Amino acid sequence: MKEAYIVTSLRTPGCRRKKGALAQTRPEDLVKTVLNALIEQTPGVEKKDVEDILLGCAFPEAEQGLNIGRVMAQMCGFPDETCGATVNRFCSSGLEAIALQAMRIKSGWCDVAIGGGIESMSIVPMGGNMPRPHPEWAKENPDVYISMGITAENVANRYSISREMQDEFAYHSQMKASNAKKNKLYKEIVPTPASKYIEKNGEWVNETFIQDFDDGIRETTTAEGLAKLRPAFAATGSVTAGNSSQTTDGAAVSLVMSEEAVKKFGVKPIAKIKYYTVAGCKADEMGVGPAYAIPKLLKMAGMKVEDINIFEVNEAFASQAIYCLQQLGMYDKRELWESTSDKRIVNVNGGAIALGHPLGCTGAKLCAQIMNEMQERGAKYGVESMCIGGGMGAAALFELCD
């Protein structure tokens, strides 16, 4: 089987739903920014060289519907020969798109492709505009449609993840992200044109500005402030807005190539995509997915947790992230994730609690982040993983190129 390489990996900032800088920017425009930047930042490669574009999207409808993968190929000026499709595996959609392109390359079916993700949670609401659960099935097994917040409460209750543990984890996520923002460590971010509609002289006018940072990071977060927040999903619960991921808008893409293409175009790849897998779990505790997916991934690779130099484990909720780290034997080793530790290897620049979770984009967003982090730290092996609505986990293993 051939090798598949990530050559370039970029993302827009992640900005808060409704209140953030990208709330009035159409999802197509977000993708257009990163797709064009991807080609511009890969000297020697032109749009005509790309065979296919796969975009992950959790709710592919309205402005991000109509097969946005193909729409974007056309909108960005790729030739008619460049195909496109949309991929949906909810929270891992973006990683799924990248992995599918890697598998096509590994099989010899393709040489140059793009995988990525998009989600405008400001424009297309979570659940979509017209959710229609099957009425009989919902009575028999409603868990497949359960609120993600309730699944986080289930994890906290079933596995004794206390409010204090969740708030502490959330605090460190914010502090890691604050440090990264202050020291300009998010080198994978593409400055993104953003729209803001304002009223002037009785008319609505679109004013454009450049957004170049994640606007959900809360640098002034304190443990005391987090402790004052009310439960968000259950009256006596422990899951709050402060220890949950932010709902955000964003897009991210990666250029994936075969070894033959890497040599042909004379590019220097970042990393090999070695393995990818998914694993199922109970729908009403979907957050535990990485605790199943990561061991399955490592078994495929013949590796152990100790062999991995850096992890990006999506923080959908602090409760599920903590549980997954416990199962991997990493939570109690506090130096592996605390913001004050220079030995940290888990979500080293903050996670979704601080940076946001733009659903179908998240898998591609985390890929861009871990590519940057692996390069900066010289980390040989990196694992990206996330839980998935409906009861699944996904995980991918990357190997840094020399």
Task: Give the tens place of pLDDT for each residue, 302-333.
Answer: 999 999 999 999 999 999 999 999 999 999 99
Residue 178 scores a pLDDT above 90: yes
How far apart CA 176 and CA 180 sit, in angstroms, is 6
The reply to whether 42 and 115 lie within a common domain is yes
If one counts the domains in the chain, the total is: 2
Rounded to a whole number of angstroms, the distance between the first and last alpha carbons of the chain is 20
Percent of the chain scored above 90 by pLDDT?
97
What is the per-residue pLDDT for 36?
A: 98
The reply to whether 300 and 348 lie within a common domain is yes
The reply to whether 294 and 384 lie within a common domain is yes
What is the per-residue pLDDT for 288?
A: 98
Which residue is associated with the tokens 């089987």? 1
Among 15, 57, 76, 91, the one annotated catalytic: 91
The answer to whether residue 381 is domain-embedded is yes
134 noted as active-site residue: no
Each residue of 334-393: pLDDT tens digit?
Answer: 999 999 999 999 999 999 999 999 999 999 999 999 999 999 999 999 999 999 999 999
CATH of the domain at 39: 3.40.47.10
What is the per-residue pLDDT for 250?
A: 98
What is the per-residue pLDDT for 380?
A: 98
What is the per-residue pLDDT for 175?
A: 98
The answer to whether residue 226 is domain-embedded is no
Compute CA distances 224 → 95, 172, 200, 259, whole Å.
Answer: 36, 13, 42, 52
The reply to whether 42 and 143 lie within a common domain is no
Mean pLDDT, the chain, whole residue set: 97
Q: What angle do CA 303, 306, 308 make, to 5 degrees?
A: 70
Which residue is associated with the tokens 């990683």? 95
361 noted as active-site residue: no
Task: Please state, as a whole number, how many other Cβ atoms lie within 10 Å of the Cβ of residue 8.
Answer: 24
The reply to whether 150 and 267 lie within a common domain is no
Each residue of 75-125: pLDDT tens digit?
Answer: 999 999 999 999 999 999 999 999 999 999 999 999 999 999 999 999 999
Residue 155 scores a pLDDT above 90: yes
The answer to whether residue 55 is domain-embedded is yes
Residue 200 scores a pLDDT above 90: no
Among 238, 255, 271, the domain-final residue is: 271
Among 271, 287, 306, the domain-final residue is: 271
The reply to whether 252 and 161 lie within a common domain is no
Show the tokens assigned to 286.
């979907």
Residue 159 scores a pLDDT above 90: yes
The answer to whether residue 363 is domain-embedded is yes
The reply to whether 181 and 154 lie within a common domain is yes
The reply to whether 261 and 300 lie within a common domain is no
Q: Which of 213, 165, 207 is nearest to 317 (CA)?
A: 165
The answer to whether residue 259 is domain-embedded is yes
How far apart CA 19 and CA 215 sit, in angstroms, is 9
What is the per-residue pLDDT for 202?
A: 87
What is the per-residue pLDDT for 285?
A: 98
What is the per-residue pLDDT for 199?
A: 87
Compute CA distances 248 → 25, 126, 154, 354, whole Å.
Answer: 12, 11, 24, 11
What is the per-residue pLDDT for 201?
A: 87
401 noted as active-site residue: no
What values do phi and psi take at 268, rounded to 5?
-105, 110
How far apart CA 185 and CA 348 sit, in angstroms, is 11
What mean pLDDT do residues 45-70 have?
A: 98
What is the per-residue pLDDT for 338?
A: 98
The reply to whether 379 and 293 lie within a common domain is yes
The reply to whether 199 and 73 lie within a common domain is yes
Alpha helices (H) in 162-288, listed in sequence order? 163-182, 223-227, 259-265
The answer to whether residue 230 is domain-embedded is no
Among 76, 324, 357, 367, the one annotated catalytic: 357
What mean pLDDT do residues 213-222 have?
A: 98
The reply to whether 329 and 373 lie within a common domain is yes
Exposed (0-12), middle (13-18) or buried (19+): which is 126, by Cβ within 10 Å?
A: middle
Please report which confidence band the pLDDT of residue 209 belongs to, taking 50, 70 and 90 as the band edges: very high
Rg (the chain; Cα; Å): 20
Q: What residues make up the domain containing 387? A: 136-185+274-396
Question: Which is it for the CA torsion 86, 89, 92, 96, positive or negative?
Answer: negative
Contacts with 125 (C-beta within 8 Å, 6 or more apart), sequence order: 59
Please report which confidence band the pLDDT of residue 291 belongs to, taking 50, 70 and 90 as the band edges: very high
The reply to whether 99 and 211 lie within a common domain is yes
